[in-house]
Amino acid sequence: MIEMLNYGFMQRALLAALLVGIAAPAVGIYLVQRRQAIMGDGIGHVALSGVALGFLLQTNPVWMAVLVASLGAISMELIRWYGKARGDVALAMLFYGGMAGGVLIINLSPNGSNANLTTYLFGSITTVSPQDIAAIVGLSAFVLLVSLGLRRQLFAVCQDEEFARVTGLPVRLLNLLLAVTAAVTVTVAMRVVGLLLVSALMVIPVAAAQQATRGFAVTLGTAMGFGVAVTLSGTVTSYYADVPPGASIVVIAIALFALVTVLAAPLARRRAARDADRTVPTGPGGGTLVADGNESAGDGTGSVDRPSRV
Amino acid sequence: MTRTTAAQDGAGIAEAPPAVALRGATAALGGRPVLRGVDLTVGRGETVALLGANGSGKSTTIRAVLGQVPLTGGELELFGTPFARFRDWHRLGYVPQRSTAAAGVPATVREVVSAGRLARRRFRPLGREDKAAVRHALELVGMAERMRDPVEALSGGQHQRVLIARALVAEPELLIMDEPLAGVDVANQEVLADTLRQQVERGTSVLLVLHELGPLAPLIDHAVVLREGQVEWVDNPDRLHDLACHPHGSVPAAEAAPKIETGLFS
């Protein structure tokens, strides 16, 4: 367990995994709240074109992916504003175009091949370079600054957009900022989780957390904890089992989701019962309900008492 | 179908400009004209109810007042300021029609109400004063003990009370409500009427869309009946009280009116 930390690539992979585990759910929660969980997926597809463009122009694929993914995310946001009727078709085309463009460009570039495309699609622990780490640390800091620093504003916008506009918040600006932040998150995560599975890391920890939580802030914190747990354990699994880390991270995340769902079921039942108890005494009708309950309970004991009375 | 202003000019209006002054407003949704010259005035401290059938333009009118539907013609002033220059968002408290679609992530009552406080804080962090305001707003609607509960666990009426607390938390001078009684049981309607009465006594102006006046009837100063995007008539609720239960303005076909009237007078 310790000996893997002697390898520079493994130290970098684990640091990247840690940052991705924190950042992806922190942004993903807003997409889930707005019921746009699929948006991360779309940005991932578009980012692929950016990676390929990086290879073609022989620049750093990470920065090129940040640029192209941000442009893609901004277009998705604009489509959401203006293209109400045909919005989903336009989005789908953007996704297909991003994927097809990526494969096309990578095959045209001098030192690109489908083999190194695979490391971007499903992640790879051996390819996180020292330059990548610098980019990942800087970009994660930006993502966390936005998603945690503006959490009340982003919460308001994603919860009730019209109400947020009436409170005077710059809703369009915040939406664009969220789109760009999601795009940055995708590129931060692509080295470890890969572009095809990055969306899973934005959504599954949030979905798992909300099985057990009842508030937004608690869900956010729990999701970030789950995110770190699955990215670190997935990366370690990948080291021993020699599988792409994206795959092991997502499989572990789904297992965690199933586990939390099973464990949270009795918790939810207890809470529902407590809520019912608290709602009942507020109305006069509730009082009768309680009395009815006592009455039937009395009948129950009465039947036990009956023999002694006879 | 003559246009009339909601408040007679000069009558009962203090020296302060009215909270809402909408003049000759026209607006379209998806290319279809929805407002066709609506005049609406809400004086300071007045409570004005918008009535009318579905599709008469009630909700569009209040969304236009909030700037959420762009006007294609006419003018809008809030507190004497033309809408384009209006920035005092904390003076408005908006209670949207309660949506049954829940957000994707659970949120507590306190978190939802705190969002209303952003009208005063915007990008500054919320402090002790804001926490006190959130508690106070929830006490006004009688939901303070449910502060930590998720909004998903509330009944329709309780949810509506939380949305009202979210509007009240910024301490607005004008409360704008879209069908606050829709889907709310009688007990909760009484709580809402009580909350609203307290606000009116404090001098808050109120503009609300209603299907029926119900327990709010005694609070209403003017009732404005819309029909096909125009103001059909403006009345005192004393006279309108009976009509509001069967507003013949809400009957789409003109020939149906006599039938309704016989029903009214029988």
- Tens of pLDDT along chain A (310 residues) come to 678 888 888 999 999 999 999 999 999 999 999 888 888 888 999 999 999 998 888 888 888 999 999 999 998 888 888 766 566 787 788 889 998 998 888 888 877 666 678 888 888 878 788 888 888 999 999 999 999 999 999 999 999 999 999 999 999 999 999 999 999 999 988 888 899 889 999 999 999 999 999 899 999 999 999 999 999 999 999 999 988 899 999 999 999 999 999 998 887 787 777 766 665 444 343 333 333 333 333 333 333 333 333 2
Residue A299 belongs to a domain: no
β-pairing, B205-209 with B174-178? parallel
**Are residues B111 and A216, on separate chains, in Cβ contact within 8 Å?**
yes
- Per-residue pLDDT, averaged over B144-149, amounts to 92
The pLDDT score that the predictor gives to residue A30 is 95
Residues of A with CB under 8 A from a CB of B: 29, 32-35, 37, 150, 152-153, 155-156, 158-160, 162-169, 206, 210, 213-217, 219, 272, 275, 278-279, 283
In this complex, do A160 and B108 lie within 8 Å of one another by their Cβ atoms? Answer: no
Helix (H, G, I), strand (E, B) or coil at B185: coil
CATH of the domain at A35: 1.10.3470.10
CA-CA distance, B213 to B18, in Å (whole number)?
23
Q: How many helices (H) and strands (E) does chain B have?
A: 8, 10
Largest CA distance in chain A: 99
Contact criterion met (CB < 8 Å) for A166 and B66: yes
CA angle centred on A230, ends A228 and A234, rounded to 5°:
120
DSSP state of B84: G
Shortest Cα distance from A281 to chain B (angstroms)? 13
Q: CA of B233, closest CA in chain A: separation in Å?
A: 29
Through-space distance between the first and last CA atoms of chain B, rounded to whole angstroms: 26
Residue of B nearest to A163 (CA): B94
Alpha carbon distance B153, B212 (integer Å)? 27
Percent of chain B with pLDDT over 70: 82
C-alpha–C-alpha distance, residues A27 and A40, integer Å: 10
Do the Cβ atoms of A166 and B111 come within 8 Å? no
A133: region left, alpha or beta (phi > 0 left; psi from -120 to 50 alpha) = alpha
Residue A16 confidence (pLDDT): 92
Residue B30 clears pLDDT 70, i.e. is over it: yes
* pLDDT number for residue B1: 39
B187-201 residue pLDDT tens: 888 888 988 999 999
How high is the pLDDT of residue A29?
96
DSSP letters of A277-297?
HHHGGGSHHHHHHHHHHHHHH
Residue A153, in any domain of the structure = yes
Residue A26: predicted pLDDT: 96
> Which contiguous run of DSSP H or E holds residue A105?
helix A87-108
Please answer whether residues A64 and A183 qualify as being in contact, where contact means their C-beta atoms are separated by less than 8 angstroms. Answer: no
Tell me whether residue A223 is in a domain: no
Domain residues of chain B, as ranges?
20-97+173-265
Residue A257 in any domain: the answer is no
> A159 and B148: CB-CB below 8 Å?
no
Of B94, B105, B122, the CB nearest to A169: B122
pLDDT at B149 over 50: yes
Q: How many residues does chain A have?
A: 310
Q: What is the mean pLDDT of residues B98-111?
A: 81
Q: Rounded distance, CA A130 to CA A122, Å?
A: 20
pLDDT digit string (tens) for B68-78? 999 999 999 99
Q: Of the ranges B79-83, B129-133, B216-220, which one carries the lowest mean pLDDT score?
A: B216-220
Return the residue of A nearest to B125 by Cα: A152
Q: Assign B123 to helix, strand or coil.
A: coil
* Yes or no, beta carbons of A216 and B107 under 8 Å apart: yes
Look at B92 and A166 and tell me if their CB atoms are within 8 Å: yes
The whole-angstrom separation of Cα A305 and Cα A220 is 54
Query: One-letter amino acid identity for B247?
Result: P
pLDDT confidence tier of residue B256, bands split at 50, 70 and 90 = very low
Across A281-295, B54-68, B92-106, B248-262, which has the greatest mean pLDDT? B54-68
- Best residue in B62, B105, B155 to probe A by mutation, most A CBs within 10 Å? B105
Orientation of helix A245-279 relative to helix A8-33, angle to 10°: 40
pLDDT at B87 over 60: yes
Shortest alpha-carbon distance between residue B232 and chain A (Å):
28
B36 has a pLDDT exceeding 60: yes
Residue B141 has a CB neighbour count (10 Å cut-off) of: 22
The count of structural domains within chain A is: 1
Percent of chain B with pLDDT over 90: 40
Q: Which residues from chain B sit within 8 angstroms of residue A169, using beta carbons?
A: 118, 122
**Nearest-angstrom CA–CA distance, B151 and B159:** 7
Is residue B192 within 8 Å of B177, Cβ to Cβ? no
pLDDT tens profile B163-174: 999 999 999 999
Question: Inter-chain contact B118–A214, Cβ cutoff 8 Å?
Answer: no
Burial B167-203 (b: 16+ CB within 10 A, else e): bbbbbbbbbbbbbbbeebeeebbebbbebbeebbeee
pTM: 0.83
- The strand order across the sheet containing B230-235 reads B92-95, B174-178, B205-209, B47-52, B222-227, B230-235
Domain that includes residue A115, residue range: 3-199
CA torsion B81-B82-B86-B92 (nearest 10°) is 70
Q: Describe chain A by its helix, strand, coil percentages, rounded to 5.
A: 85, 0, 15
The reply to whether A234 falls in a domain is no
Contact B148 A215 (CB under 8 A): yes
CATH number of the B20-97+173-265 domain? 3.40.50.300
Q: What 3-state class would DSSP assign to B149?
A: coil
CB contact (8 A) between residue A216 and residue B108: yes
* Partner residue opposite A32 with nearest CB, options B105, B148, B149: B105
CB B29 within 8 A of CB B201: no
B86 chain-A contacts, CB cut-off 8 A: none
